[in-house]
């Protein structure tokens, strides 16, 4: 079994139905992972979700890249963020998903998976920031499948 004890839901057309959410915007993640014992009728509920998964088709929408230098205020600084509009929009989108989930649950951290074309990143969010993996080519490397199997 790919993810024992969990069910994977296409939630791309359904907004968050958490009645206790204080967020003014409604999230619509592409895929939502729930425990098997949660209500099978729920499509998107930030108070019950285990993992949100977001898919992006364009490489320009990937907010992350290898560490590189950029010029900022006349000095060279290191960054791992793309600065395209699509990348900035994606970063805002996935940050809002993590904020909604952390705001709805009593967890010290949550996991999130971002898939851009044939690459994936696993992100671990907590209230102080995020840690992410390097880009995983999931067609050639078993790391993403192994993460889901062990979760």
Nearest one of 137, 114, 125 to 54, comparing CA atoms: 114
Return the sign of the alpha-carbon dihedral for residues 145, 147, 148, 149: positive
Decide if 120 is inside a domain.
yes
Decide if 129 is inside a domain.
yes
Nearest one of 68, 113, 65 to 88, comparing CA atoms: 65
pLDDT, mean of residues 31-52: 92
Number of compact structural domains in the chain: 1
pLDDT band, very low/low/confident/very high, at 26 (cuts 50, 70, 90) = confident
pLDDT at 4: 86
Decide if 1 is inside a domain.
no
pLDDT higher than threshold 80 for residue 24: no
pTM, rounded to two decimals: 0.90
pLDDT, mean of residues 11-39: 89
pLDDT, mean of residues 106-114: 95
pLDDT higher than threshold 90 for residue 2: no
pLDDT, mean of residues 47-69: 93
* The pairing of beta strand 109-116 with beta strand 51-56: parallel
Decide if 133 is inside a domain.
yes
Domain ranges, residue 66: 6-150
Decide if 57 is inside a domain.
yes
Decide if 105 is inside a domain.
yes
Which helix (H) or strand (E) segment holds residue 143: the answer is helix 143-150
């Amino acid at each position: 079994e790919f993810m024992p004890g969990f069910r994977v839901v296409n939630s791309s057309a359904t907004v968050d139905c958490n009645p206790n959410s204080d967020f003014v915007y409604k999230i619509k993640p592409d895929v939502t992972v729930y425990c098997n014992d949660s209500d099978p009728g729920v499509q998107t509920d930030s108070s019950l979700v285990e993992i949100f998964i977001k898919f992006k088709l364009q490489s320009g929408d990937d907010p992350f890249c290898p560490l590189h230098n950029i010029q900022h205020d006349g000095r060279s600084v290191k960054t791992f963020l793309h600065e395209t509009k699509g990348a900035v929009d994606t970063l805002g989108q996935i940050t809002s998903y993590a904020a909604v989930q952390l705001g709805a649950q009593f967890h010290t951290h949550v996991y999130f998976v971002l898939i851009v074309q044939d690459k994936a990143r696993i992100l671990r969010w907590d209230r102080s920031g995020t840690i992410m993996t390097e880009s995983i080519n999931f067609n050639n490397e078993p790391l993403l499948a192994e993460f889901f199997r062990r979760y």
